[in-house]
Structure 1
Amino acid sequence: MKNLPQKIRSKKLSTKIDLTAMVSVSFLLIIFFMVTIELAKPKGIDLALPDNGEITCGPIACVDINRIYTILLDDNNKIVSYSGLLSLYENPKSIVYGENGIRKELFERNKKIKEYSTALGKPKNGAIVIIKPSKKSNFKNLVDILDEMALAKIDTYAIVNDFTPEETKLLAAK
């Protein structure tokens, strides 16, 4: 028998899988989902409302009338505002939205009320704004007014939905 050439067999190497790319893709997916979840959270405005919906003292008995500023919201972006009580002072005026409208008025009113409170020995007391949206006003107007409260740095405000007969007549007339 002749010597037959033997076949050369290659060595079988153990299989190794490089997982570096898989780890990179995993981290990218985790970061992607974390960012999308954070962006998907609803954004809202924090409102401080009473726990049980009741006011423990009367609307006027516990508050200095001179600190009250009322904003009435109506349809067609109409704002009517007045200081104090409508039945006592009756000096309402129509204001528009924006920097030279309601924002300027809120800054001025809050400044005057803080000066008044400082003269009484209570320097931290600012304006108390009562926001009254009518049934004809839209949600955007309410959100715009709440934004103006934040911009004017008014800490105390309330959203009230009951109108006095005088206020209803005022909105009908303006």
Structure 2
Amino acid sequence: MAELNTSDNGKKRGHNTRKPLRVDLTAMVDLAFLLITFFILTTTLKEPKMMNVAMPVDAEPGGVAASRTLSVVLGRGDKAAWYMGEIDKPVISPSVIGLDKGNLRKILLEQSARIKREQKKEMIVLIKPSDQSVYDNLVQVMDELNITQNSIRAVVDISADDVAMLKKDKIYN
């Protein structure tokens, strides 16, 4: 039981003795703990970060032209390789870029404009994370796609040919 006592230290005033004042603080302590518990349980500590992913409804008839497809293969050390088309017969040969200097944005803007100009369609971006890339790199690529307003994208599994290319470029062990 919590209480607050005050005393006169045994001093007498005149012929009357004063009784010490006693205040019971139990209710106030209970209220304080109830308020603390309420605020702890109802407070959101951190909002989760989520990104909406739209799944394709129908595939294009006849498949997707490889000349419209840009692949971004994520390696280690904040580096990635990109190429247009298929890995065994690329339209634009693979090239290694750093993800931290805005290089990817420039490539996305240039290639998207080229495809719109030549084919009158939007570019398709395939993101292929390797087992040596970090999650932050995938988020960086998705952010760059949002900034460049590229809406057709997919995160796909990396192939053995892509891993071989990363090894050749020394961004995969």
> Is 1:173 matched with 2:164?
no
- Equivalent in the alignment of 1:86: 87
Note the residue ranges of structure 1 that are not aligned, 5 or more in a row: 1-31, 119-124
CA–CA separation in structure 2 for the residues paired with 1:49 and 1:137: 24
Amino acid at match of 1:83: M
Deviates more, 1:89-98 or 1:75-84: 89-98
Kindly, what percent of the aligned residue pairs are identical?
Answer: 28
Deviates more, 1:144-153 or 1:96-105: 96-105
Structure 1 contact 97–103 (Cα < 8 Å) conserved: no
- Equivalent in the alignment of 1:151: 147
For 1:56-104, what per-residue CA distance to the aligned partner results, in whole angstroms no more than 9, with x for missing partners? 769x951111100000001111110000111112710011124541110
Alignment of 1:21-170 (within 5 A): 40-49=46-55, 61-89=62-90, 91-98=93-100, 100-118=102-120, 125-163=121-159, 165-170=160-165
Higher helix share goes to which structure?
Answer: 1
Higher strand share goes to which structure?
Answer: 2
* Change in 2 beyond 3 A, CA 1:116/1:47: same
Note the residue ranges of structure 2 that are not aligned, 5 or more in a row: 1-38
SS at match of 2:88: helix
CA–CA separation in structure 2 for the residues paired with 1:43 and 1:158: 19
Amino acid at match of 2:130: S
TM-score, structure 2 as length reference: 0.65
CA–CA separation in structure 2 for the residues paired with 1:110 and 1:98: 20
Structure 1 contact 78–96 (Cα < 8 Å) conserved: yes
CA–CA separation in structure 1 for the residues paired with 2:150 and 2:101: 15
* Change in 2 beyond 3 A, CA 1:62/1:79: same
TM-score, structure 1 as length reference: 0.65
Amino acid at match of 2:111: R
Q: Once superposed, what is the RMSD of the aligned Cα atoms?
A: 2.7
CA–CA separation in structure 2 for the residues paired with 1:101 and 1:160: 22
* Change in 2 beyond 3 A, CA 1:99/1:110: farther
Using the TM superposition, give the Cα deviation of residue 44 of structure 1 relative to its aligned residue in structure 2, in angstroms: 1.3
